[in-house]
Amino acid sequence: MSDIIQLLPDHVANQIAAGEVVQRPASVVKELLENAIDAGATSIKLLLKDAGKTLIQVIDDGKGMSTTDARLCFERHATSKIRDAQDLFNLNTKGFRGEALASIAAIAHVELKTKQENEELGTLIKIEGSKVTSQEVVSTSKGTSIAVKNLFYNIPARRNFLKSDTIETRHIIDEFQRVALAHPAISFLLHHNDNEVYHLKSSNLRKRIVAIFGGKMNEKLVPIDEQTDILSIKGFVAKPAFAKRKRGEQFFFVNDRFIKSAYLNHAVVNAFDGLLESGSHPSYFLYLTVPASSIDINIHPTKTEIKFDNEKALYAILRATVKHSLGQYNVAPVLDFNRDANLDTPYDYSKKQTGSTPKISVDPDFNPFKDNTIQNDKPMQKDYQESYKKQTDNWDALYTTTQVESKVNQEQLFESEKETTHKTFQIQKKYLLSSIKSGVVLIHQSLAHQRVLYEDFLAKITVEEASSQQLLFPVSISFASSDIEIIYGIKSELESAGFMFAEFTKESVVIGGIPTSITESKITQLLEQLLDDIKLEVPDASFSHFDVLAKSFSKSLAIKTGTSLNFKEQETLVNDLFMCKEPSVSPFGKPIFKTLTLNEIDSIFNS
């Protein structure tokens, strides 16, 4: 009988190892960013194409690698942070190159450029599926640039399991935010499909949080700072008034590494006892520093779960610290906290008797119209009457002249309108062609309108106060029980958008008011679209439901292909589009317009 057990070839073993480390593009982003940080970088750039499926490139200005290190970092079981088994229990870094790069190189095309500061030339290595295809000397700047192209190109089944670009991009941004929040002193730049998503300058922790989550976050934050023998805690929690119906902005960092801990989360929630409504979740950004030897970070492949030696003590300290800060900064509700003490009635006035009614004195001889400065009022009146008569003598002529001038002005106005050339044209009721100095731009009208509506909705929901219109007769809409739970879960966000709910039952939702920007006939369509979008979203993602709301609104209410637009509507849409923050892509990542320069147009006819 032949032998059954055999050793796996290296390329198969590498692909299996890659499956543990690289689950999706976000896994690669996490590893590369952490490597750049451990290399001592002060500036890190992350460039993406197609949600990382086509390209993930991380460029840093760190210490770089020697030629030997550059080659060894792609070998299996190669690492810079472990020398013996004991080091596994005393990790202070995230891992400088090595190990993860071998897994990444097994399932992608990798190009590495690196140079140390004291070297004149750097090293360029290209790898495809764990095989080094070229290694050469190259002129490059100090630091390291790693480009990972065509992820899972040799494992098509794994590539097919990836989600849409939108969802994969959300995973990447989650990882990017976690790394950026853990290291506010490092500047970060994120580009996706040549569009700048984040440009985070070196700053302190508070400014970094505000830069990522928006200016409104600044007023929500309550600082946390506590030093003990076994634990150091700093960071921020959000005020109870800004609690959310979902777990979104909840971040724990232990020794500058993002972790997930239901146990520590319970400690924070417990500190908010009595301050939150039922079903609400607090937001927090908490940074814990503990001795590296007191934690085990290797109980999970992604290192997002940690085992503590003294969990109960950490729980008690964390809960007490958060509770103390909420009280110290007067976050707990008090009665009439805006009262002005200067307006209080003194206690010694309690028995004071009221005095007599004050008397009012009047001068009976006072005449405000008596004035001796004007002596000869009759001549003045006579001159005024003569002047008025002269003006009114030619009243008919004055009216006729005005009428003629008005008619001429109107004729000139209409003539100028006739002579005006339109710069925008509609093609097949689908595209808009607009003339620009360098050529022409072709715009997808529906996607353009989606972008305009999306940014408008997002501003109204998050920055401004959305206005509502009350319905004369409340509308009852039937949904599945699971869908009703989803709607109820985002009830506060929908109310912020302008919805007013009269009642929730097991089978229906009764709506009493809607945003002024939508019509009653669109309610059902809009909510159904919203439910579909939420179901496609990743659970517990850090993106707010406000983003999903705005996207659903824009998709439902945007003008559709086949809609005819007059010249005024075309020009308004084009102007509104290019006033947006991101005019080049739709809310769902699709390109909105294509520019054709005069040279490109000429080349068509000269070819």
Residues 435 and 484: beta-carbon distance below 8 Å = no
Are 233 and 181 contained in the same domain?
A: no
What DSSP string runs through 473-502?
Answer: EEEEEE--HHHHHHHHHTHHHHHHHT-EEE
Tokens 């190159």, located at residue: 97
pLDDT in tens, 442-484: 999 999 999 998 888 877 776 666 677 888 888 888 775 556 7
The winner for highest mean pLDDT among 180-184, 413-417, 434-438, 497-501 is: 180-184
User: How many separate domains does the chain show?
Assistant: 3
Instruction: Give the CATH number, domain containing residue 494.
Output: 3.30.1370.100
Closest CA to 456 of 562, 573, 595, 534: 573
Q: How far apart are CA 516 and CA 541, in angstroms?
A: 29
Q: Establish if 365 belongs to a structural domain.
A: no
pLDDT in tens, 566-595: 888 888 888 888 888 888 888 888 899 988
Enter the pTM of the model: 0.56
Q: Establish if 152 belongs to a structural domain.
A: yes
Closest CA to 251 of 154, 183, 152: 183
Average pLDDT over residues 424-440: 86
Torsional class of 592: left (φ above 0), alpha (ψ -120 to 50), beta (otherwise): alpha
> Tell me, what's the pLDDT at 414?
46
Q: Establish if 66 belongs to a structural domain.
A: yes
Is 60 exceeded by the pLDDT of residue 82?
A: no
Are 319 and 452 contained in the same domain?
A: no
Is 90 exceeded by the pLDDT of residue 179?
A: yes
Helix axes 205-213, 165-182, angle to 10 degrees: 170
> Tell me, what's the pLDDT at 15?
57
Q: Establish if 335 belongs to a structural domain.
A: no
Average pLDDT over residues 275-299: 80
Q: Establish if 453 belongs to a structural domain.
A: yes
Q: Establish if 388 belongs to a structural domain.
A: no
Of the pLDDT bands very low, low, confident and very high (cuts 50, 70, 90), residue 237 is very high
Residues 11 and 130: beta-carbon distance below 8 Å = yes
Tell me which DSSP letter residue 281 carries: B
Are 191 and 300 contained in the same domain?
A: no
Domain residues for the domain of 24 are 10-200
606: three-class secondary structure by DSSP: helix
Average pLDDT over residues 174-200: 90
Q: Quote the Cα angle for 318-320-325, to 5°.
A: 95
DSSP H or E run through 109: strand 109-115
> Tell me, what's the pLDDT at 372?
54
Higher pLDDT, 413 or 26: 26
- Cα 526 off chain centre by: 22
Are 302 and 172 contained in the same domain?
A: no
Residue 257 forms beta bridges with which residues?
254
Higher pLDDT, 20 or 485: 485
Q: Establish if 381 belongs to a structural domain.
A: no
- Cα 350 off chain centre by: 57
Are 49 and 175 contained in the same domain?
A: yes
Q: Establish if 352 belongs to a structural domain.
A: no
Q: How far apart are CA 521 and CA 526, in angstroms?
A: 9
Are 186 and 103 contained in the same domain?
A: yes
Are 270 and 170 contained in the same domain?
A: no
Residue 125 forms beta bridges with which residues?
112, 135
Domain boundary among 299, 328, 357: 328
Are 148 and 75 contained in the same domain?
A: yes
Are 473 and 520 contained in the same domain?
A: yes
Is 50 exceeded by the pLDDT of residue 415?
A: no
Q: Which of 78-82, 165-169, 293-297 has the lowest mean pLDDT?
A: 78-82
Instruction: Give the CATH number, domain containing residue 100.
Output: 3.30.565.10
> Tell me, what's the pLDDT at 112?
94
Identity (one letter) of the amino acid at 241?
A
Residues 250 and 265: beta-carbon distance below 8 Å = yes
Identity (one letter) of the amino acid at 234?
K
Q: Where are the beta strands (DSSP E) in 239-273?
A: 250-254, 257-259
Instruction: Give the CATH number, domain containing residue 244.
Output: 3.30.230.10
DSSP H or E run through 381: helix 377-393
Domain boundary among 304, 328, 352: 328
Are 36 and 152 contained in the same domain?
A: yes
Distances (CA, A) of 520 to 222, 476, 550: 41, 12, 18
Are 218 and 116 contained in the same domain?
A: no
Are 21 and 125 contained in the same domain?
A: yes
- Of the chain, the percentage scoring pLDDT greater than 90 comes to 22
